[in-house]
Amino acid sequence: MIKTNFNTELTRNFYGTRLGLLNLRYKLNMLIQIIIILFIIFTLSRVSLKFRKKEASIKELIFWFIFWLLVGVAFFIPDFITRIANFLGIGRGADLVFYLAIVMIFYIIFRIYLRIEKIERDVTKIVRREALRESDEKEDIKNH
C-alpha cells in the first residue's frame, strides 16, 4: 500500500518534471522560430534593397527568395522535409538537408577552384606580355 503510494508520487513527479521540460522546450522552439523569421525577413529585405539599387540581378533575387522560403518551410513544417526525405529513401529530414549541404559545398569548392585556375591563366598572360614587351624594348634600343 505504502509502496504503491510512493510509486504514484514518483510517477507524478516524473511526469511533472517532464511536462515542465516540454514546456521549456516549446518556449525555446518558439523563440528560435521568431529569431528565424526575423532573420529571414532581414535577409530578404537586404536582398530586395540590393535589387532595387540594381546591385543584384532578378535571378539572384528569385534564388534567395526561394532559398529562404525553403529554409522557413524546413523550420516551421519539419514534416514537409521529412516527407521529401522519406520519398527519396532517406530516414530523416535533417539527413537530407545535411547531404544537400555537402553536395553544395563540394560544388562551390569546385567552382572556386576553376575560378582560381582562370585567374592563374590570366596572371600568366600578363607576366608573358610583360616579358615580351621588355625584350622588345631591348631590341629597339639595339636597332636604333
Number of H helices, E strands in the chain: 4, 0
Q: Pick between residue 54 and residue 144 the one whose CB is nearest to another protein.
A: 144
132 binds another protein (CB under 8 A): yes
Please report the DSSP string for 8-71 in residue order. Answer: HHHHHHHHHHHHHHHHHHHHHHHHHHHHHHHHHHHHHHHHHHHHHTTSS-HHHHHHHHHHHHHH
Q: How many residues bind another protein (CB under 8 A)?
A: 15
Residue closer to another protein (CB basis): 60 or 134: 134
Q: How far is the CB of 63 from another protein (least distance, A)?
A: 23
Instruction: Among 55, 60, 134, 137, indicate the residue that binds another protein (CB under 8 A).
Output: 134
Q: Using the minimum distance from each CB to another protein, give the nearer residue, 88 or 114.
A: 114
C-alpha cell at 109: 569548392
Told to check if 3 binds another protein by CB under 8 A, we report no
Kindly indicate which of the ranges 51-59, 66-74, 81-89, 115-123 contains the residues binding another protein, using the contact rule CB under 8 A. Answer: 115-123
Give the sign of the dihedral formed by CA 101, CA 107, CA 113, CA 119.
negative
Q: Which is nearer to another protein, 23 or 135 (CB)?
A: 135
Rounded Cα distance between 132 and 13, Å, is 86
CA distance 65 to 59: 10
Name the site residues for another protein (rule: CB under 8 A). 113-114, 117-118, 120-121, 123-124, 127-128, 130-132, 134-135
